[in-house]
Amino acid sequence: MAVAIERVMTKTRHRLCQWHISKKAPSKVPSFNHDRVVRTCFYNCMNKCDGEDEFNRYWHEMIEKGCLHENRWLKDLHNIRRKWSTAFNKDVLDLGILSTQRSESANNCLHGCSKPTSALVECFSGMKKLVSSWRRNERDEDYKCKQGDVCLRYKVSFLLKQTSKQYSRKMFAFFEKNFMMGVLGVNVVDENKYDERNILYITTHNDPADGDKRWFVSYDSVTNQAQCSCRGFETKGLLCSHILRIYNLRNVRQIPGPYVLKRFSMKAKKDIYLPESIPSTNYDSDLIFRNELMRFSYDLARRVEGCTIAKEHVVSSINVLSKQIDHLIDDEEKQRNNDIPESEKVTVTTKDPPLKRPKGVSNARMKAHWERGRRQTRITSSYLLFNM
């Protein structure tokens, strides 16, 4: 399955289920049942590390504390560490979803739709109801986003005012949580200036559970762009609390445009969304474009329902656009034909196929329906006279 996913879905990162790994660990590593340090280090390696160096530190500490140098299961698990540890997947936009099949996949979604003894029709009906509920919740959320601005907890913040008009309600709630965490729960320990433009900030949390862990934020004072060692923006699409703490410290009043993703905005459905990264094959690119164009066209058709003027405008615009596309395609084909040398051009004359009867059909004249019926009647009459 991993090989097939890598070949077919080239932009997909295949990962193993952390829930199954954590359930299997106590039986494979006996020290997990009584040694709390070993168990904590292992869980930190799963989803608490921000990079490969931190992962290696916790892993070696677990091996040393539990004397697990000869454990075969841990050796095999370490060889495929990129498939289950979040430390090696910080460059993928996964919205913080862990690779757990029980709570974040079809198992959780379809748990109440069917049972092991359900028939196929019952499974389909349950799935249809589930999809209908998803779409109803999405319509309700779109309606709430159009009603007005949300109530801000910190109304004097310029950043919250800006993002409340750009993000959807759900995404703004996540952003506001990160902002409050940055203002109230993140401390700036040190500041190192590389030059007049680039500055490195070292931050920590007020939470004692995090201990002495530190996060490094590199800040550009000219463009106001920043990058944190936790890679929160790269994985979740929202600025982390560490960067927002630096923005608050530097009195930044507006978040740079690249940090406000269009897919999380209230106007995400009004335009066609295409990923910034170019797919590896032309087939993938055409498939993505076709799917997005069909979705946008369907939403546009739903929006103009009940408005005659809007329908007429859409039809006229589509007709004009179709003519323009035909001209563009014809021009491109002419340009492509002009680029081909005369020596390589081949003229092919298409002729009609030879007239032949299909195999198994006699060359005799084909009889009409009444002739076949007349012959059958004559044979039947002769048969009756002979038997009499």
The per-residue pLDDT for range 36-57, each reduced to its tens digit, is 899 999 999 998 888 889 999 9
DSSP state of 32: G
pLDDT at 206 over 50: yes
Q: What is the mean pLDDT of residues 233-247?
A: 91
DSSP class per residue in 303-317: HTTT-HHHHHHHHHH
Cβ within 8 Å of residue 268, ≥6 positions away: 168, 262
pLDDT at residue number 164: 86
pLDDT at 369 over 90: no
Q: Do residues 229 and 218 lie in contact, with contact meaning Cβ atoms separated by under 8 Å?
A: no
Q: Which amino acid is at 185?
A: G
Q: Do residues 41 and 58 lie in contact, with contact meaning Cβ atoms separated by under 8 Å?
A: yes
Q: Residue 353 corresponds to which tokens in the numbers above?
A: 């196929």
Cβ within 8 Å of residue 59, ≥6 positions away: 41, 45, 78
Q: Could you read off the pLDDT of 296-313 as tens digits, one per residue?
A: 888 888 888 888 898 889
Q: Residue 252 corresponds to which tokens in the numbers above?
A: 């930044």
pLDDT at residue number 273: 62
Containing 188, the helix (H) or strand (E) segment is: strand 186-193
pLDDT at 246 over 90: yes
C-beta atoms surrounding 280 within 10 Å? 10
d(CA 215, CA 204): 6
**Mean pLDDT, rounded, of the chain:** 81
Nearest in space to 167 (alpha carbons), one of 95, 263, 276, 244: 263
294 to each of 214, 216, 269, 297, how far by Cα in Å?
47, 43, 12, 5
Domain boundaries, the chain: 2-109, 158-264
pLDDT at residue number 104: 54
3-class DSSP state of 265: strand
Residue 171 pairs with which residues in a beta bridge? none
Q: Do residues 94 and 235 lie in contact, with contact meaning Cβ atoms separated by under 8 Å?
A: yes
Cβ within 8 Å of residue 275, ≥6 positions away: 288
pLDDT at residue number 135: 86
Q: Do residues 146 and 206 lie in contact, with contact meaning Cβ atoms separated by under 8 Å?
A: no
* Percentage, residues of the chain above pLDDT 90: 15
With cut-offs at 50, 70 and 90, classify the pLDDT of residue 384. very low
pLDDT at 201 over 90: yes
Residue listed under structure tokens 């929006």: 303
With cut-offs at 50, 70 and 90, classify the pLDDT of residue 203. very high
pLDDT at residue number 278: 47
Query: pTM of the entire structure?
Result: 0.69
C-beta atoms surrounding 292 within 10 Å? 15
